[in-house]
Amino acid sequence: MRIGSAVTIDAEGLDALIATLASRGYETKGPVVRDGAILPGPVGGINDLPVGVRDVQSPGRYRLEHGEGDAVFSWAVGPGSWKAEFFPPSQELWTSTLEGDVVTSEAPVADVAPLAIVGARPCELAALAVLDRVLLDGAVTDPHYAARRVDAFIVAAECGSPASTCFCTSMGTGPATESDFDLALTELDDDDGHRFVVRVGTDRGAEILEYVPGSETTPRDMAARQAVLASATKAIDRRLETEGLAELLARNLDHPSWDDIAERCLSCGNCTLVCPTCFCSDVSDTTDLAGEVRRQRTWASCFDLDHSYIHGGPVRSSVSSRYRQWLTHKLSTWWDQFDSSGCVGCGRCIAWCPVGIDLTVEAAAIRASDGALRSSPASGRDGR
């Protein structure tokens, strides 16, 4: 096997792939059905995956439907992204103790097996690439992120069943993928049977695939893969016009749409919790009666009132200013910081917003009335 080659495997082959990764010492995780959603979890074989399960999503709505078929990847994305595996919601950074006059500090030892992910969507690979630019390849590498990310083995699953909330085609992140994976699966189910085309992305992926039973991928298989991806692309009708979007938002910080959105937004932070690229965090120290200090890092949200707190109070005191901060950072100023968009078009923020706010609709509304001003000249950048 070599990079760029492909084989075709059946369900037993996928089971063997998962078993092979586990036998090589990987902590193997994939999509599992839990708590009424498809979430990342431990997998030991194909039966742990969401076989015969599909999701139905729309603004403010998510549910699973259980069928009788053998399809493993007939769903889009769930509320939990792979970000949490590398950048946990809560993480201890270090502890410090005082014995006499001696202060001792130590960081927790990350004694865990390397991670293998089976079933990461193309948009999620794009999200990890965004996080890599920030936390791995940025000016200062986050050692906790790097320790988990560097040796991770990625088995992607190209998307054949997008949700109505998906707009990855607008962001160039799906439904196909050509990079950032060790192996990439495309699930096929037609007159030639239920099977998976597996493409090799790295030498490490080629080595693993040598232990998986399969057959040479035929031109019919590759044609079927293209048909699946073309059908998925056609099914995605939600759009985000990205041409000039960063500049559009930058010159419309006083647009009346921000107040309109604030009338509906609960400032709950759901969109940032499910977003696969949001990386804001808070650091807190706690001290017990024995004098031991623990420093903890937890996810934070720009929808939290205290997120913009400085001496004297928060900079962004209104809901409109907090939503504006989130959307303009994601789609505009992210380009200035990281030379990319902060959005990958997964649609999670749309489905998991309790009131169904859709950032593609809100961006389109601003574009439609570019240059409009709020009725109050005092509102705008000051956070009101």
Q: What's the rounded Cα separation, in Å, for the pair 87 and 131?
A: 9
Confirm if 217 and 336 have CB atoms less than 8 A apart: no
Residue 60 contacts by C-beta under 8 Å, 6 or more apart in sequence?
Answer: 350, 351, 353, 354, 355, 356
Amino acid 60: pLDDT = 96
Mean pLDDT of 237-256: 95
The band of 288, judged by pLDDT with boundaries at 50, 70 and 90, is: confident
Phi, psi of 298 (to 5 degrees): -135, 155
**Mean pLDDT on 342-371:** 95
Percent of the chain residues past pLDDT 70, beyond the cut: 97
List the structure tokens of 374. 């709020």
Q: What is the mean pLDDT of residues 262-291?
A: 92
Whether the pLDDT of residue 383 is over 60: the answer is no
Tens of pLDDT, residues 136-149:
998 889 999 999 99
Mean pLDDT computed over every residue of the chain: 92
pTM over 0.85: yes
Cβ atoms of 45 and 18 within 8 Å: the answer is: yes
pLDDT of residue 374: 62
Residues 174-204: tens digit of each pLDDT:
999 999 999 999 999 999 999 999 999 999 9
pLDDT in tens, 34-45: 999 999 999 999
pLDDT band per the 50, 70, 90 thresholds, residue 68: confident
Beta bridge partners of 54: 65
Higher pLDDT among residues 290 and 188, named by residue: 188
Residues with Cβ within 8 Å of 368's Cβ and at least 6 positions away in sequence, in order, are none
Residue type at position 132: D
Domain boundaries, the chain: 6-90+111-235, 245-280+302-368
Question: For residue 380, what pLDDT is reported?
Answer: 43
CA distances from 334 to 122, 138, 256 (A): 20, 13, 23
Peptide bond into 175 cis (omega under 30): yes
Q: Residues 63-93, buried b or exposed e (16+ Cβ, 10 A)?
A: eeeeeeeebbbbbbbbebbbbebbbeeebee
Residue 275: its pLDDT value, please?
A: 96
pLDDT at residue 213 is higher than 70: yes
